[in-house]
Chain A
């Protein structure tokens, strides 16, 4: 396509080449700076695709070799014993733990993040909004191992009170029954992950809410809307897709979080009925915890579980894009 455009309508050198318009078609007439920049940006794009493809190929090849040697069912086995003579490993517990802990984190973090973002953009006086934004952003800069240490040394001992309370009101459901012991459960992981993804969800939502055109808010105000009604009629609908994207960014981080989970959880290859029971595991945590003592097959088995996490993340992102695209007609 690049070479075809030279002769017919575009005789070789236009007198004053407009850099922005000529980029891409009409080789030889663009300025050197444009060509360098085009090369750089195109190269970056290609590099990104190449890296993604390389990761996918690496994961698939190593995973396939591991799964072919698995003596159990890779998807349904409740066991991780890749170093045995008869290697048996399955991702059921890991998939359950990853999805459940991330869902708990989302349920807690997203409403709180939307609340903070609305407070900063629409309620807080300016003197308070700026420092509050700064503190939230600072929260994102804390390394995850620090969250892990805090979770293990502070959160775990202090959550037993909440666990007892949950048990006395919701224990009958079974899902929130507490049977004593340290609070090193998926539920605690969910709370910890919620705190960890709060900053990213909050900052992105805050920026989205800040961009709501003034005229949309004034439309509601002029109809006699209260501040909350303005938010409901103008701000939230406008920010919807942005908040979904923000949540997906947070979910991506929660699904892949490693060190904090590995530090707090007491892993086991069991799925217990109650979220408050210790045990369970996540993909990332299991890779971090088992990598060192794994043999060659063990490492490949972990890579196979990593591939599942990779696919899970892709699915989550795809779903988010679908949700956003479905409402496009209304957000033009």
Chain B
């Protein structure tokens, strides 16, 4: 189920512009790792290199290694499509498929990955995933209604249900709460706490209280200046980052002295 991520010497580019420079880190399985840092420091770009989504941006390319347990995601002959089937992703803005019902949204990944699944089996997976995303009770009577008709927070949980339905090894979340109200945010945060029992979770957030609440480990990214590539400043236990970080820049950032 959950796998360890080992990143070494990873740089990402947009055309000739280097967005992140030489990042190495380890993400433990069954834990939540939060990425924090000022806007433009490359934390979202870095997140997107972990499921090879970065390279779908025109001009996007990556150097370095990402090991998922022992397998290099950027090894020769590795199909990015199959990488994305084991490393799921939840986006900043909820993006359920607008033309699909709630049921079909959750089943979308299964239908892609597995091809033929029996209806009863699929029903089971959809129910389990929606329960896993704490959405089942709210939508069980209207599974055939369009997913776009739900509230923003419900849509985001629907997207989480869609991502976990295919049982990925890793779940990447790119500021999953930034478009949501505080109540919905709380629901997602509770959910993250439950999901880490089963998945390796990496979350990008601008909200430092959120990082402190949900994560076990926190990575701080920064950039030297506009146009400079983003760098990993430090990664440590969340408690330590927020109480006694080893780098001065981290302390300046989390105490609000800049950024």
Q: Which residues of A contact B (CB under 8 A)?
A: 126, 213, 215-216, 218-226, 229, 233-234, 237-238, 240, 327, 329-332
The answer, yes or no, to whether B112 is at the interface (CB within 8 Å) is yes
A223 touches B163 (CB 8 A): yes
B112 touches A219 (CB 8 A): no
> A271 to nearest B CB, angstroms?
41
A222 touches B51 (CB 8 A): yes
- Among the interface residues B53, B97, B146, B166, which one has the most CB atoms of the partner chain A within 10 A? B97
Kindly list chain B residues whose C-beta atoms are within 8 Å of the C-beta of A225. Answer: 81, 84, 112
Q: A222-B88, A223-B88 are in contact. List 14 more A-B contacts (CB 8 A).
A: A215-B91, A216-B95, A223-B108, A223-B109, A223-B112, A223-B166, A224-B109, A224-B112, A224-B166, A233-B97, A237-B98, A329-B149, A330-B98, A332-B148
A222 touches B91 (CB 8 A): yes
Residues of B135-158 at the interface with A, using a CB-CB cut-off of 8 Å, are 146, 148-149
- Among the interface residues B56, B93, B159, which one has the most CB atoms of the partner chain A within 10 A? B56
**Cα(A222)–Cα(B174), bound, Å:** 12
Kindly list chain B residues whose C-beta atoms are within 8 Å of the C-beta of A226. Answer: 81
Which residue on B lies nearest to A229, using beta carbons?
A: B112
The answer, yes or no, to whether B99 is at the interface (CB within 8 Å) is yes
Q: Which of B58, B89, B148 contacts A222 (CB 8 A)?
A: B89
Which residue on B lies nearest to A240, using beta carbons?
A: B99
Kindly list chain A residues whose C-beta atoms are within 8 Å of the C-beta of B82. Answer: 224
B99 touches A330 (CB 8 A): yes
Q: Which of B56, B95, B146, B166 contacts A219 (CB 8 A)?
A: B95
Residues of B144-186 at the interface with A, using a CB-CB cut-off of 8 Å, are 146, 148-149, 159, 162-163, 166
B93 touches A215 (CB 8 A): yes
A238-B88 in contact given A224-B109, A224-B112 (Cβ < 8 Å): no
A330 touches B51 (CB 8 A): no
**Cα(A126)–Cα(B58), bound, Å:** 10
Can you name 23 A-B pairs with beta carbons within 8 Å? A213-B95, A219-B159, A222-B53, A222-B89, A223-B85, A223-B113, A223-B163, A223-B166, A224-B83, A224-B85, A224-B112, A224-B113, A225-B84, A229-B112, A237-B97, A237-B99, A240-B99, A327-B99, A329-B146, A330-B146, A330-B148, A331-B98, A332-B148
B148 touches A224 (CB 8 A): no
Q: Which of A216, A218, A223, A327 contacts B162 (CB 8 A)?
A: A223
B108 touches A233 (CB 8 A): yes
**Cα(A224)–Cα(B82), bound, Å:** 6
> B237 to nearest A CB, angstroms?
29
**Cα(A143)–Cα(B250), bound, Å:** 68
The answer, yes or no, to whether B230 is at the interface (CB within 8 Å) is no
**Cα(A145)–Cα(B44), bound, Å:** 56
The answer, yes or no, to whether B96 is at the interface (CB within 8 Å) is yes
Kindly list chain A residues whose C-beta atoms are within 8 Å of the C-beta of B109. Answer: 223-224
A224 touches B163 (CB 8 A): no
Residues of B90-116 at the interface with A, using a CB-CB cut-off of 8 Å, are 91, 93, 95-100, 108-109, 112-113
> B173 to nearest A CB, angstroms?
11
A218-B95 in contact given A223-B166, A233-B108 (Cβ < 8 Å): yes
A219 touches B81 (CB 8 A): no
A238 touches B95 (CB 8 A): no
Kindly list chain A residues whose C-beta atoms are within 8 Å of the C-beta of B146. Answer: 329-330, 332
Kindly list chain A residues whose C-beta atoms are within 8 Å of the C-beta of B96. Answer: 219
> A273 to nearest B CB, angstroms?
41
Kindly list chain B residues whose C-beta atoms are within 8 Å of the C-beta of A329. Answer: 146, 149
**Top 8 closest A-B pairs, CB basis?**
A224-B85, A237-B99, A222-B89, A224-B84, A223-B109, A215-B95, A219-B95, A330-B99
B95 touches A221 (CB 8 A): no
**Cα(A222)–Cα(B91), bound, Å:** 9
Q: Which of A221, A234, A238 contacts B84 (CB 8 A)?
A: A221
Which residue on B lies nearest to A330, using beta carbons?
A: B99
Kindly list chain A residues whose C-beta atoms are within 8 Å of the C-beta of B53. Answer: 218, 221-222
**Cα(A222)–Cα(B108), bound, Å:** 11
Kindly list chain B residues whose C-beta atoms are within 8 Å of the C-beta of A330. Answer: 98-100, 146, 148
Kindly list chain A residues whose C-beta atoms are within 8 Å of the C-beta of B91. Answer: 215, 218-219, 222
